[in-house]
Chain A
Amino acid sequence: MELTKRKSRSQEKGVVQSMVRTLCRQVEVELKIFFRNQHGAFLHFAFPVGAAFLLVYLDKEGVLENLFRFLFGFMNQEQMENLSIMSFLLPGLIGYCVIAVAFEDLSPKLTRQRDNKILKRLGGTPLRGWVLLGGKALSASVIALAEILVVISIVTLFSDITIAGDPWWSLVVLVTGIFTFASMGFALAGLVKNTEAAVVAVHAIYIPMFFVCGAIFPIEIMPELLQHVAKALPLTYFLNFLRGTLMDGSSVVAHVSDFLILLGWIVGCLVIALKTFRWE
């Protein structure tokens, strides 16, 4: 009796271990594929890094604030005074990194592998669906975090804004965001028919979302209706969460509602993703 119990426990441990091992192996493969396409990888890093340098340069020249005021002129003086443009735009840029890697890129990649029958072959192996998706989400996290680290380093090195947040809590926030958009991407991939549709859907979602959710200007300056739309979208909560923890250094507890909403998005999207996932 005692013996069989111990045996089953060690078996369980073995199963978990082998799953973790498969997951790590998947992450390794995904990362290898990503970095082997050097131009693609370069393109991924080039835009946020270029944008970070441009922001820093415009800030140094003292024109960033004028430009911002010009483009989003509706904002009143009082709101502008309390706003450091650079520390407002940095989370927006980080949000872009997260969406570009975990949503814009990941979702069509999954459908393309399905279209090209790569998934069909993988489906014939002992690999589980959720391990495949988990591997993709984790490798996207690694890439996005690397990008974000570079962007933050550039901005903090060359401009005088300070980042008050605790690095570990910020990491939790970032990973939560990455998983939110990755699971959205997986759900989308399951819902659409093929890659072409996935690409269109991804852009149709993320470009307007980027405008509306306060990535480049505060949502308060938009009409009422769009503010309601923004409040229905996950990016708003991610950015809010990020601004609070990474930039202002408040604790995750203070933003627990943002966290719970993002968690809700993750769970909801994952349910759809797993229900609609197909190998072919």
Chain B
Amino acid sequence: MKGLFRQVEVELKLFWRNPLSVFFTALLPILMTLVFGYLNQGAKVGDIPYVAFLLPGAIAMQVTGSAFENLSISLTRQRDDGILKRLGGTPLRKWILLGSKMLTASLVIFVQTLLLIAIGVLFFEVKIVGSPLVFLLVLLTGIVTFTSMGFALSGLINSSDTQSAAAHAIQWPMLFICGSFFPIDLLPQLLQHVARVLPLTYFVDPLRAVLIEGQGLGENSVDLLVLLAWMICCFIVSIKTFRWE
């Protein structure tokens, strides 16, 4: 346990030292919320105001951003640079390494999520009605799912160049079609079917239902079970494909 905390400390230090990663994961969702929120003041999606609809999407955006752009790319780079190889020679276990990266990402995401919610509440009068505990649970499930997806990606792909291409190629279309910024029924049938397979749909929907509509776990059990299934698959693949060099 001590080893894990020590790793988290190191990871956090490294994270703050590299301004780019903070920048990428934090700025873009905030900018999206501000711009689209402003442009669509007064617009509604069903019963809820558009900004309230968008907020969970922006949260999902920084979860995938942290997972794909930060964690997964930095893991591959560390492997390319031979840093993982050196770590592999120490008593550090791989699950502690991956776990600490996940925990670090979670901490950073929590802070950014609070910031986003604050922006929504202060600037756009979004009403947050969900239970914080349930929200946290859904958020954590999502974080574990997408970070392990990122790790799996890093394990499956050899070079960091290809990896950054693959990470973007997965992240952006997924964000676009899975209902982060607009309801998926606006898309053509085919893309709707694709969206119903991808895990992000099953993360954004419950996140929105809990945070904005104040639903509990029971009403979202199907979505959460699908997400959980994705999480377990990605987790197993990420552990299986992990390599120190």
- Secondary structure at the A interface, as helix, strand, loop or mixed, is helix
> CA separation between A57 and B189, bound complex, in Å?
12
Chain B stretch 47-82: residues in CB contact (< 8 A) with chain A? 50
From A72, A73, A203, A207, name the one whose CB has the most chain B CB atoms within 10 angstroms.
Answer: A73
- A149 touches B (CB below 8 Å): no
Are B187's CB and A63's CB within 8 A? yes
Residues of chain A within 8 A (CB-CB) of B169 are 46, 50
Residues of chain B within 8 A (CB-CB) of A54 are 173, 176
Closest Cβ of chain B to A214, distance in Å, is: 13
Residues of chain B within 8 A (CB-CB) of A204 are 23, 27
Interface hit among B31-39, B95-103, B139-147, B193-201: B31-39
Are A200's CB and B20's CB within 8 A? yes
Closest to B17 in A: A196
Residues of chain A within 8 A (CB-CB) of B168 are 43, 47
Are B20's CB and A199's CB within 8 A? yes
Interface hit among B85-93, B157-165, B224-232, B233-241: B157-165
> CA separation between A123 and B19, bound complex, in Å?
31
- B186 touches A (CB below 8 Å): yes
Residues of chain B within 8 A (CB-CB) of A37 are 161
Residues of chain A within 8 A (CB-CB) of B173 are 50, 54
With A71-B36, A207-B31 already in contact, the answer to whether A57 and B43 are too (CB < 8 A) is no
Of the residues A70, A199, A208, contact of B186 by C-beta under 8 Å: A70
What are the interface flags for A184-201 relative to B under an 8 Å C-beta threshold, 1 for contact and 0 otherwise? 000000000000100110
- B182 touches A (CB below 8 Å): yes
> CA separation between A222 and B39, bound complex, in Å?
7
Are A71's CB and B181's CB within 8 A? yes
> CA separation between A58 and B192, bound complex, in Å?
12
Number of CB contacts from chain A to chain B under 8 A: 71
Are A61's CB and B18's CB within 8 A? no
- A124 touches B (CB below 8 Å): no
Closest to B23 in A: A200
In this complex, the interface size class of chain B, counting residues with CB under 8 Å from chain A, is: 20 to 34
Chain A stretch 230-251: residues in CB contact (< 8 A) with chain B? none
Of the residues A40, A74, A199, contact of B39 by C-beta under 8 Å: A74
What are the interface flags for A68-80 relative to B under an 8 Å C-beta threshold, 1 for contact and 0 otherwise? 0011111000000
Closest Cβ of chain A to B161, distance in Å, is: 4
Are B41's CB and A74's CB within 8 A? yes
> CA separation between A70 and B44, bound complex, in Å?
10
- A35 touches B (CB below 8 Å): no
- B221 touches A (CB below 8 Å): no
- B188 touches A (CB below 8 Å): yes
Are B38's CB and A223's CB within 8 A? yes
With A39-B161, A43-B168 already in contact, the answer to whether A73 and B40 are too (CB < 8 A) is yes
Residues of chain A within 8 A (CB-CB) of B186 are 63, 66-67, 70
Residues of chain B within 8 A (CB-CB) of A261 are none
Closest Cβ of chain A to B160, distance in Å, is: 9
- A130 touches B (CB below 8 Å): no
Of the residues B28, B40, B43, contact of A207 by C-beta under 8 Å: B28
With A66-B186, A67-B182 already in contact, the answer to whether A73 and B23 are too (CB < 8 A) is no
The 7 closest A-B pairs by CB, nearest first: A61-B188, A39-B161, A43-B165, A73-B43, A74-B39, A73-B40, A39-B162
**Given A70-B182, A196-B18, A204-B27, 4 more pairs with CB closer than 8 A:** A46-B165, A67-B182, A73-B39, A200-B20
Q: What are 6 A-B pairs with beta-carbon distances under 8 A?
A: A70-B182, A71-B181, A71-B182, A72-B39, A196-B20, A211-B31
